[in-house]
Amino acid sequence: MNKLHQLKSMTTVVADTGDFEAIVDYQPQDATTNPSLIYKAAQMQQYRGLVEDALQFGQERGGSDASAQTRWTMDKLAVNFGSEILKIVPGRVSTEIDARLSFDTQATQQRAEALVGLYEEAGIDPRSRVLFKIASTWEGIRAAEALERQGIHCNLTLLFGFPQAVAAAEAGVTLISPFVGRILDWYKDAENVAGYPAGEDPGVLSVTQIFNYYKRHGYDTVVMGASFRNLDEILELAGCDYLTISPALLGELASAEGDVPRKLDAQQALTMDIPKVTFDESSFRWDMNEDAMATEKLAEGIRLFSADTRKLEQFAHEVRQSY
């Protein structure tokens, strides 16, 4: 078997893309999207109909309010792409909540509830087939906690620090997405090195710590490694609950031969001496402040996702103007 098939035997593989054709090629269980991926996919001619449908919906639902038109257009566009992806994958799709709401608990919750309504209008049961991606701020975690109590499941994204992982698990969040490659990027720059051996990769070590902590203390929250830079990072996390992987790296895995040993093992984690910790708001904020990498990458990630959302809004405006 190639390495992709072997990896699938111990880890749920998720496609990190908005391109449906790429999803079909590698037959993942789930798929994730974000504003960056949808922006790229929306510019492809084969998906123009999804954009035009969202624009028409936004005009109808938003009425004469330009800002409301834009918001409904963006939400409908996310749901259109998510709905099409769900025709391909047997599991769930992750749909991003506007990153500009990352520090507003109530607005994040309300936006997720609006997306639930749009998925239901599209004939999809969002409680069984959709994860709503929310940035792992304190406010985002609180919003996810409230949504989970309604049976609306969440994917806590832009997760870089251990306090974020602990707080998310204690909030009963369905899934977290630690960003392996972005952690690596920060340490390479900070320590002025070209790279690390796979077993010493800071992003790999972070996910390993979180995985073992969750399994040792019986949390149900799923750990999904994300944002990979190379195959070694992926293979070093074989056995993780989920891994979300770009089409390019899925292709490399599919064409690579050789054994894929399990690196993360829930049963082994049960025997580890790992103290349990907890965070209230003040200790969460303090520990995040003490972790320069986590603080900087979370802020940067929110800015980048926000910028891509604005790009997507501008693209939709240009399409509308071309009618």
Q: Which of 68, 93, 59, 91 is nearest to 78 (CA)?
A: 93
Task: With beta carbons less than 8 A apart as the criterion, state whether 237 and 225 touch.
Answer: yes
Q: How far apart, in whole angstroms, are the C-alpha atoms of residue 322 and residue 316?
A: 10
Q: How far apart, in whole angstroms, are the C-alpha atoms of residue 102 and residue 67?
A: 19
Measured in degrees and rounded to the nearest 5, phi and psi for residue 135 equal -60, 145
| Contact partners, residue 146, CB within 8 Å, separation at least 6 | 105, 109
Measured in degrees and rounded to the nearest 5, phi and psi for residue 69 equal -60, -45
How far from each other are the two terminal CA atoms of the chain, in whole angstroms?
50
Q: Which of 141, 262, 180, 168 is nearest to 222 (CA)?
A: 168
Catalytic residues: 133
Q: How far apart, in whole angstroms, are the C-alpha atoms of residue 111 and residue 148?
A: 14
Strand residues in 22-129 grouped as ranges (E): 30-32, 93-96
AA letter at 284: F
Task: With beta carbons less than 8 A apart as the criterion, state whether 311 and 197 touch.
Answer: no
Q: How far apart, in whole angstroms, are the C-alpha atoms of residue 225 and residue 243?
A: 5
